[in-house]
Amino acid sequence: MDVTWDAVDVAGADASLTRLEDERQALLAADDGLRTLRASVARLRAALDDAADRRAAARLSVKRLEERHAVLVDGQDAASEILERFTDAPERLPDEQQERLLAEAFDEVGAPEGVDGFDDATKRLRRRLEERLSQALDGAATASVALTTTFERYQDAWPDPNLGTGVASYPDYRAILDKIVATGLHARRSEWRRRLSQWSGEDLVPLSGAFDRAVVEIEERLEPVNEILRDLPFGANRDRLKIVIRRVTREDVTQFRRELRALSASVDTELTDDVLETRFRRLRRFMAVIRPDPESPRGRTTQRDAVLDVRRHMEITAVRYDTAGDDLGVYSSLGDKSGGETQELVAFIVGAALRYQLGDETRPRPRFAPVFLDEAFIKADSEFAGRAVTAWLRLGFQLVVSAPLDKVTALEPSMERLLSMRKHPDTGYSSVTQIRRD
């Protein structure tokens, strides 16, 4: 229905509203019950609006509580899992000291007021523990540097390859400290002085004497060999041969012997600490020279071998002299000798060396006599071969000689048994035949 604004009677409508309101007020003024009902309706509507507001607030609170409950349930599940891990592994539970530290930190951040304040309190506790951890790590780093510095100074003063300089070596150094404290510093100093004297007296003095005894023993063991060689003809002119030892002067050996004599001298316990420490450092350097090196390649001559092996401190030569005692020549190498002369010289020298190794100054014969010579004297004439065999026999050896047929005549006078070995070309077999002599 289309109505224009001009067709609407606004004034009449307002008059009708005014008239109806006046009639309503007149009715309320005339009837007390209506006024009471009207007040009750207004009061109930206000109560309804208030209840609606409270209901909305309650619904919102319920929603928040449900969300909080879900969070608490998840937290409870996570906490239960953590507690189960601690229950399954009791060693993870904090000890009394850790519990005391946690209680102190918890008191510092303040206890939570109800469940709502638990998260904030936990965050404060975490921050406080992190601060304490950072402080503890800084302190540990400082202590580690201090310990390492102390251990390095200890190694500088008293080097010990069995001790490190890291924090992991603390128990070893603590054991040393406990022993020093238990025995007393003065007692340790006295013990150090005593051991320094003991090292010099019990170890170095016998070593110093062993050098001289070793040379004397070599000369004494060589004397019976020269006694035998004195009666054995050597060479075509039937001269004699003797083994001569000459001590070789070497700077490193001389310095080593000088230091050994100085360190093996008696130690005066009344010396000052500086003098004793200097002596100890010299002794340590000296022991480093004679200490075996397990990393040294096998067969390689070390400094220890050079100073301790007495055989390297002497030169051994063979001197040829006539029956009148005049020296005719010195053999320090084979040089330009002929084949036969070389073999005879080698036979004499090797026989003398074996007699030296297998005998001593108290034995008339070597400890082991049988010697096998294969293809012996193949370059020597019969005269050279005969003299060489005689020398070996006089040196006390029992010879089993395999020689060519042309050397049998020279060797036959010294043979107790002669065997002939022959290979048959037609059969390829070999046979051994004993040749009997009348």
Q: Kindly give, in sequence order, each residue whose CB lies less than 8 Å from that of residue 60, ignoring residues fewer than 6 positions away.
A: none
The beta strands (E) that lie in 109-239 are given as none
Q: Which token pair is 37?
A: 């009902």
pLDDT of residue 348: 73
What percentage of the chain reaches a pLDDT higher than 70? Answer: 82
Other C-beta atoms within 10 Å of 365: how many?
13
pLDDT at 361 over 60: no
Query: Alpha-carbon distance 320 to 241, whole Å?
Result: 5
Taking only the tens place, the pLDDT of each residue in 425-436 is 888 888 888 887
Burial 200-215, CB ≥16 within 10 A → b, else e: beeebbeebeebeebb
> pLDDT at position 330, please?
78
Strands 430-435 and 398-402: unpaired
Model pTM greater than 0.75? no
What span, in angstroms and rounded, lies between the C-alpha atoms of 221 and 227?
11
Q: 164-168, 199-203, 240-244: which range is least confident on average? A: 199-203
Residue 1 has pLDDT above 60, yes or no: no
pLDDT of 268 strictly over 70: no
Cα distances (angstroms) measured from residue 265 to each of 268, 281, 287 = 10, 16, 16
In this prediction, residue 378 carries a pLDDT of: 65
pLDDT by residue (tens digit) across 180-218? 777 776 666 777 777 776 666 667 777 777 777 887 887
Q: What is the pLDDT of residue 188?
A: 67
Higher per-residue confidence, 152 vs 239: 152
Residue in 329, 333, 313 with CA at minimum distance from that of residue 321? 329
Q: Does residue 301 register a pLDDT over 80?
A: no
Determine what percent of the chain is predicted with pLDDT higher than 90: 0
Token pair for 336: 């330009």
Which of 324, 189, 348, 338 is closest to 270 using CA atoms? 189
Nearest partner of 131 among 159, 104, 169, 161, judged by Cα:
104
For residues 149-162, give the mean pLDDT.
88
DSSP-based three-state secondary structure for 399: strand
User: Residue 112: phi, psi to the nearest 5?
Assistant: -70, 150
Q: Find the helix or strand (DSSP H, E) in which 87 lies.
A: helix 32-88
Q: For position 337, what pLDDT does the model report?
A: 61
Domain boundaries, the chain: 12-92, 207-292+302-332, 338-438
Predicted pLDDT at 103: 78
For 56, 174, 175, 188, the CA distances from 181, given in Å and listed in that order, are 80, 10, 10, 9
What is the C-alpha to C-alpha distance for residues 86 and 362, in angstroms, rounded to an integer? 82
State pLDDT tens for residues 369-393: 788 877 766 666 667 777 777 777 7
Is residue 258 pLDDT above 70, yes or no?
yes
CB-CB contact of 151 with 173 (8 Å): yes
Q: Residue 56 pLDDT > 80, yes or no?
A: yes
Q: What is the rounded CA–CA span in Å between residue 417 and residue 400?
A: 10
Looking at residue 338, its pLDDT comes to 60
